[in-house]
A and B are shown apart, each in its own frame.
Chain A
Amino acid sequence: MTTVAHTHDTIDSPFALSHLDSLESEAVHIFREVAGEFERPVILFSGGKDSIVMLHLALKAFAPAAIPFTLLHVDTGHNFPEVIEYRDRVVAEHGLRLYVASVQEYIDAGKLRERPDGTRNPLQTVPLTEAIQQHRFDAVFGGGRRDEEKARAKERVFSLRDEFSQWDPRRQRPELWQLYNGRHAPGEHVRVFPLSNWTELDVWQYIAREGIELPEIYFAHEREVFARNGMWLTAGEWGGPKESETVEKRLIRYRTVGDMSCTGAVDSDATTLDAVIAEIAASRLTERGATRADDKMSEAAMEDRKREGYF
């Protein structure tokens, strides 16, 4: 047995699992429950670290067979090229099927309008929900973690959504033991969050333990950025910088990967996993607080978006 199953905490029995083994076992159980109970599950895959960890867990859960899920990427059109390159490479490597729902196509077709602030994250909801309906997905895996945000702290592992993908926090099913209730009517679907109980640090420790490869933007590198709303944004065709904003070259890395227009970089010289883990362990800022503009829009920004169908 090569996994770290034992602990140097002498008070626990030799059968106590390490916290990473506990979280991994739970997540794998969730993936297998969905495979056993649903017809058309899909994994939301953005090329970000949480979705990469989800994919890794899914591959382990069904080994040596292929994973019985497809992937779906809601593409805002403002992607980091390194992430798209990573996404396509992973899909090819594992022989997966990837659907892409494109925000840009919705804008070009006049079905969505660009926001004045250029932020496209909130625009993902419509292509996401329409892709779910179009492909009749009945279970949609998301990499959301309860530690990310206080509205997410209230989220179930199996979260029932109506035909409009809406989340109603007051009408959630109580979730008891490990008995997940995935019953749903036609047209409804269930959002599933296998990483619910993971923290940002757990995700990084697991990436280190498993030797999972990530897009390079998660590690410190020199990049042309400019300051907006207290964050470093990458300059690019998506619409930054404005005339009043100046570009400078800085040593930065990303803690989260999302739309370029609202994902901020942090100053960092962490070029290795060890250095990243040390940096996160010492950070006094949450992942989203440090790097996400869209959560700062209002006190309930995440809750409001989730209610509309955001993941």
Chain B
Amino acid sequence: MSTSTEQFADVSATTLLRFATAGSVDDGKSTLVGRLLHDSKSVLTDQLEAVEAASIQRGQDAPDLALLTDGLRAEREQGITIDVAYRYFATARRRFILADTPGHVQYTRNMVTGASTAELAVVLVDARNGVVEQTRRHAAVAALLRVPHVVLAVNKMDLVDYAEPVFAAIAEEFTTYASELGVPEITAIPISALAGDNVVEPSANMDWYGGPTVLEHLETVPVSHDLTACHARFPVQYVIRPQTAEHPDYRGYAGQIAAGAFRVGEEITVLPSGRTSTITAIDALGTGLGSNTAVDIAWAPQSVTIRLADDIDISRGDLLAPSGDAPATSQDVEATVCHVADQPLTVGQRVLLKHTTRTVKAIVKEIPSRLTLDDLSQHPNPGQLVANDIGRVRVRTAEPLALDAYADSRRTGSFLLIDPADGTTLAAGMAGESFATAKAVVAGDDEDGWDF
């Protein structure tokens, strides 16, 4: 079994981009996804044959590419998409994990789920309709989840004669709106998913457009950020103590670096206890079995094992941070949450709060407001949140948490609320301020909504 390193380097030294698509019913999301998969040769012959056979059986003339993505019996029977599905494709330059989020049912929680791990979101707009309520909702969710890159794909350009002014107006309106919400980077691309314009191949019909195609942009957008600007955070997952003859004294704290970078020699503080120590070793996952690789520096999202100079009490749920840059701990959490369960979340409810590797008891003290995504209006004191609601909550926890603001760290600023009775995931929480914190506006005050 020989491996030529050259070939191995060619196929493996690509990066991974996680992205999500957001689209409503008829804006052509399935077609776009189908075309990305198809034109990147990620749909294989037997899959295509299965789709063709199923399409013929249903009496359809042409292969229905939606059948590629609708995996469940109920979805195919009803012709709807029930849930987020994950799809995989690759080009020579990059690997992609696409969170394919359906637009119809249970809309908000699906997009929140897909966007939570995405580094990029593709928001589709029908060029004939321009920016509509749904588009604003997509932009708001992307902004709320702090997806670093947003692509506005203005679809169906073939139906507006590939006219530049149509595209320019939509792009400007969307960019203004999304920037106001805090979306850091927006790229607008005029496409026709059906005809294939600017999806994988540059369009011959829109020579006025000088930017990248959708795929080209996906291939080249930077996937990681300036780590020196991030607060380093390491949630302890598991304590490794072999207690063997070979390793009698090994005591390592295993985990995945949530943000930033850690170095050997650095002084760290353990939260919530506040004890301090120094990093003596970082064991990274080496190549090959049975051995770790000692490294001097490791960074997010590497899974490593950290060893310290002092034998202090540290267990799963603790957080290591550089002593000069440790987060404050608190038992009072203020956050924006998206409610993802069918049962409601009410004031006074006892819940579990899962933050990184720590799960604590908590109580919902207050629900100050509920947000309407359509126009970003706020409704004070709704009393409860139901499925797909986004709102502000105040939660008191039984133990102190080292929670960052979600704006600073998606990984250590996020949490789940869980029903202790049956384990249901109730809500996805983002700690700290967001645009949903803004002073409550009475609904109906501004009939046009946020019309910039």
Contacts and interface: CB of A to CB of B under 8 A. Distances in A.
A64 B237 contact: no
A147 B250 CA distance: 39
Contact of B44 (A33, A151, A283): A283
Contact of A17 (B1, B73, B84, B301): B301
Interface in B30-74: 44-47, 50, 54, 68-74
Contact of A196 (B74, B86, B226): B86
B295 A1 contact: yes
A63 B303 contact: no
Interface stretch (A114-122, A177-185, A247-255): A177-185
Contacts of B410: 177
B222 A208 contact: no
Contacts of B357: 33, 36
B339 to A, nearest CB: 10
Nearest to A197: B97
Interface in B218-248: 220-227, 237-238, 240-244, 246-247
Interface in A6-56: 6-9, 11-13, 15-26, 28-29, 32-33, 35-36, 56
B404 interface: no
Nearest to B14: A19
A13 B354 contact: no
B361 interface: no
A147 B88 CA distance: 7
A239 interface: no
Interface stretch (A77-85, A105-113, A133-141, A167-175): A167-175
Given A22-B301, A36-B238, A179 B16 contact: no
Nearest to B110: A174
Contacts of B11: 201, 205, 277, 281
A92 interface: no
B287 interface: yes
Contact of B423 (A62, A183, A211, A212): A183
A91 interface: no
A75 B86 CA distance: 30
Given A174-B340, A286-B46, A11 B12 contact: no
A185 B247 CA distance: 37
A96 interface: no
Nearest to B342: A171
Contacts of A277: 7, 11
Contact of B287 (A33, A63, A209): A209
Contact of B414 (A149, A174, A176, A212): A176
Given A150-B71, A173-B425, A205-B11, A12 B222 contact: yes
A170 B102 CA distance: 14
B3 A29 contact: no
A262 to B, nearest CB: 16
B3 A61 contact: no
Contact of B72 (A18, A169, A175, A197): A169
A210 B287 contact: yes
A210 B8 contact: no
Nearest to A214: B1
Q: What 4 A-B pairs come out closest when comparing CB atoms?
A: A183-B423, A289-B46, A150-B71, A65-B242
23 contacts: A2-B293, A16-B222, A24-B285, A26-B301, A29-B256, A29-B303, A32-B237, A60-B286, A62-B240, A64-B290, A149-B71, A150-B71, A151-B72, A154-B84, A170-B82, A176-B340, A178-B256, A179-B416, A181-B423, A210-B288, A274-B8, A286-B47, A304-B73
Interface of A: 1-4, 6-9, 11-13, 15-26, 28-29, 32-33, 35-36, 56, 59-66, 146-147, 149-154, 160, 169-170, 172-179, 181, 183-185, 196-197, 199, 201-202, 205, 208-213, 272-274, 277-278, 281, 283-286, 289-290, 299-300, 303-304
Interface of B: 1-4, 7-9, 11-16, 44-47, 50, 54, 68-74, 76, 82-88, 90, 93-95, 97, 109-110, 112-113, 116-117, 220-227, 237-238, 240-244, 246-247, 250, 254-256, 261, 283-293, 295, 299, 301-303, 316, 340, 352, 354, 356-357, 410-411, 414-416, 418, 422-425, 428
